[in-house]
Amino acid sequence: MRELKILVINNYGQFCHLIHRSVRDLDMDTKIVANTTPVDEILDEEPDGLILSGGPTMERAGICSEYVESIDLPILGICLGHQIIAKTFGGEVGQGSSGGYADIEVEIVDEDDLLKGIGPKTSVWASHADEVVRMPEEFIQLARSDICECEAMRHEERPIFGVQWHPEVAHTEKGEKLLTNFFEICETY
Tens digit of each residue's pLDDT (9 = 90 or more) over 148-173: 999 999 999 999 999 999 999 999 99
Angstrom CA distances, 139 to 10, 31, 43, 89, 172, stand at 24, 28, 25, 9, 24
Asked if 168 is an active-site residue, the reply is yes
Q: Looking at 79, 148, 150, 186, which residue is catalytic? A: 79
The per-residue pLDDT for 39 is 98
Q: Looking at 16, 128, 150, 168, which residue is catalytic? A: 168
Does position 175 have pLDDT exceeding 80, yes or no?
yes
The per-residue pLDDT for 59 is 96
Closest CA to 174 of 113, 138, 125: 125
Asked if 79 is an active-site residue, the reply is yes
> Which residues, at least 6 apart from 72, have a Cβ–Cβ distance to it below 8 Å?
158
Q: Looking at 82, 148, 166, 173, which residue is catalytic? A: 166
Angstrom CA distances, 66 to 62, 162, 169, stand at 9, 16, 27
The per-residue pLDDT for 122 is 97
Asked if 64 is an active-site residue, the reply is no
The per-residue pLDDT for 100 is 81
Confidence label for 15 from pLDDT (cuts 50, 70 and 90)? very high
Q: Indicate the domain borders of the chain.
A: 5-188
pLDDT tens digits, one per residue of 58-111: 999 999 999 999 999 999 999 999 999 999 999 999 999 887 899 999 999 999
CATH architecture type of domain 5-188: 3-Layer(aba) Sandwich (3.40)
What gap in Å lies between CA 86 and CA 19, rounded to an integer? 21
The mean pLDDT of the chain is 97
Average pLDDT (10-23) is 96
pLDDT tens digits, one per residue of 27-64: 999 999 999 999 999 999 999 999 999 999 999 999 99
Query: pTM of this prediction?
Result: 0.98
